[in-house]
Amino acid sequence: MIPGTDFWKLAHRVVAGGGLSREEALAILDLPDEELPGLIAAVYPVRKKYKGNTVGIQILTNARSGNCSQNCAYCAQSRDSKADIAKYRMVDYGKLLGDGLLAQEKKLSRHCIGLSGIRFSDAEIGEFAEYVRALKNQTGTPVCCSIGFLSPAQAEVLKKAGVNRINHNLNTSRNYYPRICNSHSYDERIANIKMLQGLGFEICCGGIIGMGESRADAADMLFEIREINPRSVPINFLIPIAGTGLENMDTSALNADYCLKVLCLARLLLPEKDIRATAGRELYLKGREKEMFMLADSIFASGYLTAGGQGIEEAIKLVEDAGFEYCVE
Ligand code: SF4
């Protein structure tokens, strides 16, 4: 930490509405591991003030898989990926409904639906909107979509169908983004988010840690996300997927202590938001879930877009065993 900085003073400042300097943010990510317990102890009351001791659990359905025109290096669905994944234009409605009914039965807080691709025809949006409308009628669970770049008219169609939140991640810092993807720009992502906010959508916006970015890049990404002011912030920890551009990424620095420091920083920069520990938490934070839940208040269960994950029952048990309450939104 910056010599003389007191974690508790930092946390009090955040609760009082103050921010962190970039220097302080970097110092958190560079903190010696032996100082991490003290940092978590000071950040936990911030989490508790805004989120109590509850953990929301979300389920994710991949409604359209593979064949994307973009080249995001981490993604198994990109045009350059050789990953062995299922590819389909639109999920069978029965599968979507099955996931929706599971979310309803288990009282999960949100059903997130991802579609590969960056732009969609009006006919495709119309078809998907009908799926969402039917799903909402049958389950009532809040729906969030991750659906590339929309036109304002397409976004309105989805809103009328019952989508109230859209996920659009920044993924990394502005500086590092061209190393991860150059088929679209960081600014296009931000413009899409601003357009959606202007239409009244809640935004879910996060990123991926461990793609070779520096710690300064990780901090910069969180500052960018703070500017966006989303409702929820998914923090993924890279699982290199065979066949993708990052399949050989060295993730040796991505250990539990570093992941927890990132979550500390996310909570301090975005204190009242849903901080969601997403892909990779099962791998990198295994055995450290109590500390994870002292910082994050939300997780996915039942897998990710193209990677498996923990089952719902197991996730609920994990939350309860760590001494937290699984909550219904
Ligand atoms: S992250 Fe999205 S836009 Fe990028 S390659 Fe994957 S599906 Fe396409």
Q: Which amino acid is at 81?
A: S
pLDDT at 328: 56
How far is residue 320 CA from its own chain's centroid? Answer: 22
Position 5 confidence tier, pLDDT thresholds 50, 70, 90? low
Domain at 53-327, CATH from 3.20.20.70, 3.10.129.10, 3.40.50.300, 3.50.50.60: 3.20.20.70
pLDDT at 2: 56
Distances (CA, A) of 79 to 96, 147, 174: 25, 16, 22
CA of 70 to the centre of ligand 1 (A): 6
Atom nearest to 69 CA in ligand 1? 8
pLDDT at 232: 96
CA of 312 to the centre of ligand 1 (A): 26
pLDDT at 195: 97
Atom nearest to 79 CA in ligand 1? 5
Find the mean pLDDT for residues 299-303.
Answer: 78
* Cα dihedral 27, 32, 38, 41 sign: positive
Choose the residue to mutate in 62, 65, 68 for probing ligand 1, maximizing ligand atoms within 8 Å of C-beta. Answer: 68
Higher local confidence (pLDDT), 235 or 313? 235
CB 309 within 8 A of CB 279: yes
CA of 115 to the centre of ligand 1 (A): 9
pLDDT at 313: 82
Atom nearest to 118 CA in ligand 1? 3
CA of 73 to the centre of ligand 1 (A): 9
Q: What is the pTM of this model?
A: 0.92
pLDDT at 100: 86
Closest CA to 204 of 264, 273, 142: 273
Per-residue pLDDT for 1 more than 70?
A: no
CA of 77 to the centre of ligand 1 (A): 6
Pocket of ligand 1 (CB under 6 A): 68, 70, 72, 75, 77-78, 116, 118
CB 131 within 8 A of CB 166: no
Atom nearest to 184 CA in ligand 1? 3
Position 244 confidence tier, pLDDT thresholds 50, 70, 90? very high
Position 91 confidence tier, pLDDT thresholds 50, 70, 90? confident
CA of 184 to the centre of ligand 1 (A): 10
pLDDT at 305: 57
Position 304 confidence tier, pLDDT thresholds 50, 70, 90? low
Give the β-pairing of 325-327 and 110-115. unpaired
pLDDT, one tens digit per residue, over 131-157 is 999 999 988 888 999 999 999 999 999
CA of 113 to the centre of ligand 1 (A): 14
pLDDT, one tens digit per residue, over 206-237 is 999 999 999 999 999 999 999 999 999 999 99
Position 321 confidence tier, pLDDT thresholds 50, 70, 90? very high
DSSP letter at 172?
S
pLDDT at 64: 87
Choose the residue to mutate in 118, 189, 205 for probing ligand 1, maximizing ligand atoms within 8 Å of C-beta. Answer: 118
pLDDT, one tens digit per residue, over 109-131 is 788 899 999 999 999 999 999 99
Atom nearest to 71 CA in ligand 1? 5
CA of 118 to the centre of ligand 1 (A): 7
Higher local confidence (pLDDT), 209 or 94? 209
Choose the residue to mutate in 60, 67, 71, 75 for probing ligand 1, maximizing ligand atoms within 8 Å of C-beta. Answer: 75
Specify the range with the lowest mean pLDDT, choosing from 9-23, 31-45, 106-120, 283-297: 106-120
As a 3-state breakdown, the chain gives helix, strand, coil percent values, each rounded to 5, of 45, 15, 40
Mean pLDDT of the chain: 91
Specify the range with the lowest mean pLDDT, choosing from 77-91, 100-114, 210-224: 100-114
| Strands, E assignment, the chain | 54-64, 110-115, 143-146, 163-167, 202-204, 207-209, 232-237, 274-277, 298-301, 325-327
pLDDT at 101: 86
Atom nearest to 116 CA in ligand 1? 7
Strand partners, 300: 58
pLDDT, one tens digit per residue, over 155-208 is 999 999 999 999 999 999 999 999 999 999 999 999 999 999 999 999 999 999
Atom nearest to 171 CA in ligand 1? 1
Closest CA to 275 of 288, 292, 289, 258: 292
pLDDT, one tens digit per residue, over 257-274 is 999 999 999 999 999 999
Q: What are the sequence ranges of the domains in the chain?
A: 53-327
Per-residue pLDDT for 316 more than 60?
A: yes
Find the mean pLDDT for residues 283-308.
Answer: 85
CA of 153 to the centre of ligand 1 (A): 22
CA of 241 to the centre of ligand 1 (A): 14
